[in-house]
Copies of this chain bind each other. A is one copy, B any other.
Amino acid sequence: MTTPFTTQASAARTAARELATLPRGRKDAALHAMADALAAAEQDVLAANRLDVEAAREAGTADAMVDRLTLTGERIAGMVQGLRDLAALADPVGDVLRGFTTAAGVRITQVRVPFGVVGIIYEARPNVTADAAGICLKSGNAALLRGSSSALNSNRAVVAALRTGLEGQGLNPDAVCLVEGGREVTGEMMTARGLVDVLIPRGGAGLINAVVNGSTVPVIETGTGNCHLFVDVDADQDMALQIILNAKTQRPSVCNALETLLVHEQIAEQFVPRVMSALNGAGVTVHGDESFTSVAPGALPARVDEFDAEYLSLDLAARLVAGVDEAIEHIRAHSSGHSETIITTNLATANRFTAEVDAAAVLVNASSRFVDGGEFGFGAEIGISTQKLHARGPMALPEMTSSKYIVVGDGHIRA
């Protein structure tokens, strides 16, 4: 059945074929052209964004969400620079992953190829529109961008500029498509096997679960980070304080921020008062279980379910544990598999923690805020995968590709 969505997705597939074999030089030129066009359209984009922001305010949207929706000259400049930065990154397409000759003498090369058409489903953050389009383009994929209806005017203006940039370089503008329409269109997108190769939801746990549960197209899950930090009996306690403060307060609203503190009970009397004082001084509210509040009178009692969700705010759950075993057990039961940290000077304890904790990233004596494509040195990041298939951890350009085996013989047949 042909619908507006299938027509658009088919057009994106046609564009994807052209992108798949486009040399890096032309993709980089296109990224600069997209950046130029977006910079030139700044006033149009700001005007369109004002419509969305006004509507959101009238609808009583929370301030934090209105802030994410709001574009400024500075934010647009950031989007423009993001596109230019992508042009400077290596092209993953065509990378040879393996090459060998089989026992029969057939020559085999495994090379990176684009996915084809990537669907991004995201919330009311118009900056994602340019970021995702750029990452898809550089990795040779066409992008079907399904933003929130509350950012529709902004997204239309951004996508129009990006498509102008593509056309100016003689490329098919359907490499970047904004998917419009009601909720039923999201459903079409999630079940468009054969038209959409991969779906990447970007947003909160609710959005991600809805996409995972509703999709037959393969999904890469990103983002939910219920991150723990365990202060071992053998920790450098000054180091622990610094890392806890950094992981919790440097940017509390993001997925790699600290959400639960686990303290070895043997150091509780000494360490808990210090950490409470430091956290309270930084404006953090601590929610402890009974074990924790008994040594930290300033902590609020935590409900049981507070150990299972992200606060994404200046709040922190806390409990005492009997040792690394109980810490690992707690993390197993409550982790979202994003980033888990131990602070210890004991090598054997560190090794047990890194071997037995099952997460995209396991950290020793470092802040979980480092688990990020930019900090890893990968450049642009489409998200942080918290699943185990395909990619786990920060997803950059190589993670936006698949591979293909090229098999060359000289008349070889199988015996």
Contacts and interface: CB of A to CB of B under 8 A. Distances in A.
A388 B354 contact: no
A289 B361 CA distance: 55
A242 interface: yes
Nearest to A394: B405
Contacts of A21: 355-356
Nearest to A407: B363
Interface in A216-234: 216, 218-220
Contacts of A393: 110, 403-405
Contacts of A219: 218
B388 A116 contact: yes
B408 A364 contact: yes
Q: How many copies does the complex hold?
A: 2
A286 interface: no
Nearest to A385: B402
Task: Choose among A198, A358, A369 the residue with the greatest number of B CB atoms under 10 Å from its CB.
Answer: A358
Interface string A344-364: 000000100011101111111
A103 B379 CA distance: 12
Given A370-B102, A375-B102, A413-B369, A113 B358 contact: yes
A198 B413 contact: no
A311 interface: no
Contacts of A359: 404
A365 B197 contact: no
Task: Choose among A108, A245, A350, A371 the residue with the greatest number of B CB atoms under 10 Å from its CB.
Answer: A108
A412 B370 contact: yes
Contact of A375 (B193, B387, B414): B414
A192 interface: no
A107 to B, nearest CB: 9
Contact of A409 (B106, B218, B370): B370
Interface in A110-160: 110, 113, 115-116
B407 A361 contact: yes
Task: Choose among A219, A236, A409, A413 the residue with the greatest number of B CB atoms under 10 Å from its CB.
Answer: A413
Contacts of A239: 411
Given A370-B106, A377-B103, A365 B412 contact: yes
A246 interface: yes
A390 to B, nearest CB: 4
B402 A389 contact: yes
B362 A405 contact: yes
Contact of A407 (B197, B364, B389, B408): B364
Nearest to A405: B361
A358 B198 CA distance: 15
Contacts of A242: 411, 413
Contact of A388 (B370, B402, B407): B402
Nearest to A401: B388
A366 B338 CA distance: 44
B411 A236 contact: yes
A396 to B, nearest CB: 12
B366 A407 contact: yes
A266 interface: no
A243 interface: yes
A112 B356 CA distance: 13
A406 interface: yes
A319 interface: no
27 contacts: A20-B355, A20-B358, A104-B375, A108-B376, A113-B358, A115-B389, A197-B388, A198-B388, A198-B389, A212-B216, A218-B219, A250-B414, A359-B404, A362-B405, A363-B408, A364-B406, A364-B407, A364-B409, A365-B411, A366-B410, A366-B411, A367-B414, A370-B412, A371-B405, A375-B414, A389-B389, A392-B405
Given A245-B413, A361-B405, 9 more contacts: A102-B376, A198-B388, A218-B218, A218-B387, A360-B405, A363-B407, A366-B411, A370-B414, A392-B403
